[in-house]
Chain A
Amino acid sequence: MPETDADVATAPDDDQLLLQVRRGDRSAREELFRRHFGVAYRVAHRLLGHDHDALDAVQDGFLKAVAHLAEFDRRCEFRTWLLRIVTNAALDLGRRRRRRPTLSLDDRSALDPDNAQPSSADVVGPPVDPALNLHRSDLRRQLDAALATLSPATRATFVLFAEAELSYKEIAACQRVPIGTVMSRLHYARLKLQELLKQTTLDA
């Protein structure tokens, strides 16, 4: 998530917030989770392809993380630890529910002229060209379909790398798998996704 210089200068880092949480500061706890909400949501959305499922997964994950905050052992960054929990919550939710087609509220407003009312989950920013938006949702569906062919561990690894921009070393440290395994999973995920992308470009 982009941070302004002013945020960086004034906001306490995660470690400082964790210290405050330890002293029983509830607002520090809220801030600790609030600052990672956006990326957690995007990660869950990549794994589940749906606004509401993504939000449910983030809520499940955050609930678990709050309940187990005492066990956070600082082997990796708090953010990485939290995203790992949210990722597992998303995979669990995905198993329990059949994957629904990718649809976000901004897609819906682009596809359906009757549904042009801005909603709570709309993109914040300038209006997007509907043709471009349609192309984007096609592309997203294709990427989702390719992601769905990967095993859960490979899918989660790639999403943490590409969406949360975690390094392969952080992922390995947090998931406790060898670095070589993470690199293999990233490579395999790229093989599949890039193959599909090439195919799509050739078909078009």
Chain B
Amino acid sequence: MKPCDKITRSLSAGADPAGPELAPHLAACERCADWAESITALDAAWSATRPAEPPAQLFDQIWSRIDAQPTRLPFPAGPSRAALRRLAAAASILVGLGLAWLWGLSRANPRQPDPRTSPPLATTPAVAYQFEAEPGETLFLHITPDGRVEADIRDPATTSETITVAAEFEILNFMESQAADAL
């Protein structure tokens, strides 16, 4: 990535333009200085249009409904090891299904803007949510022999970064999605 691209991206993600790493470059580079200026303008517009804080009685109103719901134990014991193994297998199969579905979707409807909005999501919530990708991004999933899932989301503007997701997390995520629609 070119130095200016790196700088504009870090400014977009909240880097301080007056900080020691960026200030010298911004003083010398018109393009990056313009970008920093338009960030300031957007931030000012954003602050000026901030929604009003809701009054406290609105919280009381929704909380009285929520509090009336029957509740589960707040922190249950974790699942047994055997259950974890069974769910690991299920999660791997779901990953497979998710891939097949994404592939099928891209063949069937190449203009589909966002996989999360599609009805098939309900059948593969754990995977579809976990590896959410944007149009234009490329998603690679790799399941290692020890049950770990490696997700690599790439977009044209970035070098690739790989995250490795622990099998345990996949299991908990799977359980969560079974308990309710993807949170």
Contact = CB atoms under 8 A, between A and B. Distances in A.
Given A66-B66, A183-B9, A104 B41 contact: no
B66 A59 contact: yes
Interface residues of A, number: 77
A146 B8 CA distance: 20
B161 A179 contact: yes
Interface stretch (B17-25, B48-56, B94-102): B48-56
A123 B51 CA distance: 9
A178 interface: yes
A180 B183 contact: no
B30 interface: no
A193 B45 CA distance: 10
B60 to A, nearest CB: 9
A177 B133 CA distance: 9
B13 A186 contact: yes
Contacts of A22: 74-75
A85 interface: yes
A30 B165 contact: no
Interface in B100-138: 113-114, 116-117, 130, 132-135, 137
B159 A180 contact: yes
Interface string B127-161: 00010111101000000000000011101011111
Contacts of B52: 104, 106, 121-124
Contacts, number: 188
Contacts of A55: 54, 58, 62
Contact of B51 (A1, A42, A161, A178): A42
A181 B155 CA distance: 7
B9 A187 contact: yes
Interface in A19-48: 21-22, 24, 26, 29-30, 33-34, 37-38, 41-42, 45-46
Given A68-B183, A178-B153, A178-B162, A62 B137 contact: no
A46 B51 CA distance: 7
Prevailing SS type, chain A contact patch: helix
A191 to B, nearest CB: 8
Given A68-B176, A187-B157, A152 B117 contact: yes
Given A137-B49, A151-B135, A184-B157, 11 more contacts: A29-B74, A30-B67, A63-B66, A68-B180, A73-B172, A151-B113, A163-B46, A167-B14, A184-B134, A197-B45, A198-B41
Interface of A: 1, 21-22, 24, 26, 29-30, 33-34, 37-38, 41-42, 45-46, 54-55, 58-59, 62-71, 73, 84-85, 88, 91-92, 95, 104, 106, 120-124, 136-137, 139-140, 143, 151-154, 161-163, 167-168, 175-188, 190, 193-194, 197-198, 201
Interface of B: 8-10, 12-14, 38-39, 41-43, 45-46, 48-59, 62-63, 65-67, 69, 71-76, 113-114, 116-117, 130, 132-135, 137, 151-153, 155, 157-163, 165, 169, 172, 175-176, 179-183
25 contacts: A37-B59, A42-B50, A62-B62, A64-B180, A68-B176, A70-B72, A71-B179, A88-B182, A92-B181, A104-B52, A120-B55, A120-B58, A124-B53, A124-B55, A143-B49, A151-B113, A152-B114, A162-B43, A176-B163, A176-B169, A177-B163, A178-B152, A180-B155, A180-B159, A183-B158
